[in-house]
A and B are shown apart, each in its own frame.
Chain A
């Protein structure tokens, strides 16, 4: 790379031009510096040109060098301690931009400050200030001599108001550098400054690029969908920052002890998570000296830091020397810590000559500049500002991602939670809805059932009311105290009250409830009370109730308790007036008694007569035997008549006898009846006189003949000998009523009038005897069953006592009426009517017509 340039000073401008170009052609500082040293050595014709760069600690290093044919040894890469160029000298270089030319032979030094200490500005324009020479410091001379240097030229290189380094030309032989050379070198130094500026800019740009690439890579890891992106990103960051290990502690807001730890590479010793330890936070609070940023601590050497034992031990045991801790905060939210660890390193430094620590450097300059390799073991590596900046940038990304992740997870959780809650709530709502639906339908069912029940209740209560109203029986309900709660119209009317009057009355007193024997019950002894008290149903016949007017009447009642859930809450009494029934019953009893008596009477004769005939203990005379046979026979006939009459009456009364009605001629019926009675009439010596009437009627001929026969039989029986029984018949129309009216008794008039109301015309039949007559009070009674008239001698007439009852039944069933009129001592007349209705007449007319035609 060495290029040959013309050495002539004339070509100074060429040189400057060339150098400028070379500097501009390259952006690589070492290359530029190398070129600069080369060109400068050629131009100055010196043995060695070196570019010396200061380190921040004041020591320096040869960073570029050009040597002429080994005339001087190479110092490239060698370090010079700070003491070699003392602080005062460095300050002069900086502040006055002092340049110096040393001539070892003459032991003089030419100094040319570019600026004055008082007026920096004024001197800037006048660059070429004359050199001022003075004697050089013997130490300096000795130093240079030891280096083998006879002449030197030094120009400071300033960069951004700092002493960057020195541009130094050495020559092994005495050489005189003039002002001109000095100015040229100054120009070159200025160019170097520009180059440094460019190079720095480049380096900065590169670093920036690298920085950004690391960030980009990290971010891409952070956002990658691969497994455990945080761990991969952490690993990348650890590598990028040349660390041996890194860890990420993710704080769990819910619990300090549940934080998550992600690690890569070397880790502090011990199982305990340091970040969870209170010492960690205490330490970070106290560690302000190493707090390089708001949330970032960079401890280059933990041995120098004031660490709490628990932390320092954990780190030291793991050979960790440097720690960088960043508190992850995003949006004011603490997320955790990112820590990076470095181990100590061994540092090799090539010194220009071995340093003798025992010697005072001030006292004696070094005699040898032989390269000396110094090895410093277990050195801590400093966290450079750019590294810290990079770390901060990376930490920011981590924070951002972690925050987002947490936020995302939180949102996810919230979402999930929300979904869960929505599901839960939906399920609950569904359940509620279901329950509600069920309830509603149940309610509807209930309501429907209620409606139905209400309707049926209504119907029932209506029916009940109808039943109550329609019932012939008296019905009333009482409460446990015997007070009436409800009653039906029949009950009210049977008792002679209005329904409303009964409500609330104490029934026992109101009814004066009396037993069948006429003794009034005490309330507590009455069957109704027992029903109320014990719930028994009582069915009582014959007790007496009292009406409003005080009249008592026999009743049959049933008292039933009303129970609700086993408790008696009242009673219902159903009663009926049995007055009629008792009468009927009495009549029945009477009838049976009478029938029994009537049957026993002929049987007595028959049994006695036959009994005597049948016995063989005592001989009975033949005449008496004959009498007994006659008695038995006649009483048997009587018994037969009686039985058939009883049956007749009963049949007629019960309507079991069917009338065999047919058109017939009254005169025929009369004739037949009279014929049947003629024998009897002869026996009694009574004449029968019939006034025949040819009239058609519609009737049961046998029954009519039976009726006339009965009446004739009675008439004959009660007629004196040689008297006459008259039988007559006549038709009575409504218009003709007045003509016969006078003949009739009150009962007769009424009967005829009634008959004519119902029918346009009547047939009136009369049977008259000349007997002793019937007392007025018996005229009606004789039509009752077994009612018989006393004869004058009190003898029984042999009748059954049923004949007139039978007659009345037959006549009435034909729509007619029968009655008797009598005058005591003169005789009696029995009348009966038979209706002749229009229909009958028509039937008769038709029949008459038909008869005529056949004739």
Chain B
């Protein structure tokens, strides 16, 4: 009941023509950004952030969640049409989506994937709407000890799950932590590592993400000079609308994908990519016709798409209830919440419940808009992608420069985006994951504060972290996760060596 009341307030908050247009624009931009290889949800949100500064908070969040959800829909378009995934979670969609396209069923693949994306998003939103208040009720009783442990858990899981090498992920996490600590330490009054006066306030988080995801991706695209040949696919509207039989055949895979997506989304660091891989593997394993997978199985399109879109609301659950982001995209959302003057954590839903519910309502409306637009406007999207991708890199670079300048009306942040652009380029080329870096930049000041508070409360006694049952429980989970991850990596390595022999 409390959830439904909250949701009603949320809808009331955002129900205006302006907000509807903002959500629609965000969804459309997100779909195009998601479809363009190299640009994913993080880049989409990062590029839109500077545009939201002059908006009311509700509208700004509506735009960002519209973009976030839109990118999840967009990735599948180029996956199915030309076997080129727009983003990492859409890789699995290409495996069966493109064979369907070759067989002349591209319209059906796009239609089914849109329906599954909608269903996955809807399922995840249901869990978010009814689950978030429950988690919040538990989390408001947490103290700084528990919060510190939760933050450590978030950083550990993202380091364990992001990328192929744990060492590289930890390396990036530590780098992000140090970047997050630059500037004034408001508790002690010391200024740390401020090599220029502009750094006294710290490195602007938005400048970092614009550099990493904007300039960094542009440099990669310029180097590779990727051009998508979208051809001129001639689809009729009715081809996008699946029959009852198709929907019935894909309903269970979609549901299973949605459950997997939501659960994986909640885990910090796991995100949509792992959810799609897992849901595809599950479907193939339980299918009566596993040989069809890879050759145009509709289930192979439906399950990953459901999982992908369910992971977005899933990742928002730890963000709005605990203040811990579940993915790179939600880490940027957390930074945005802080910039809008909100205090992420369990009190967020108590102190700023209206805004949180407005954001969730915005997601629901975006999900509905995206279903229709991704069925009715596919030809429009294809034409926009064809036009935009030709001129993308310099325009995005100029947008990044303008966005960075508008952060504090000076050139310092423009230099910051150029530096982080180079770092982002090297990270991408050398396969260093960016998720742990972003998460650490956001969580570093919070983690340090909770650590300090915990020690103050317990008069400098480090044992207090293990004397409180919840804190100890989280610590055991962290140790278990680290041990499981190391064992699984070692097992994989020995298996590989055995196979090589």
- Do A and B truly interact? no
Interface residues in chain A, defined as those with a beta carbon under 8 Å from any beta carbon in chain B? none
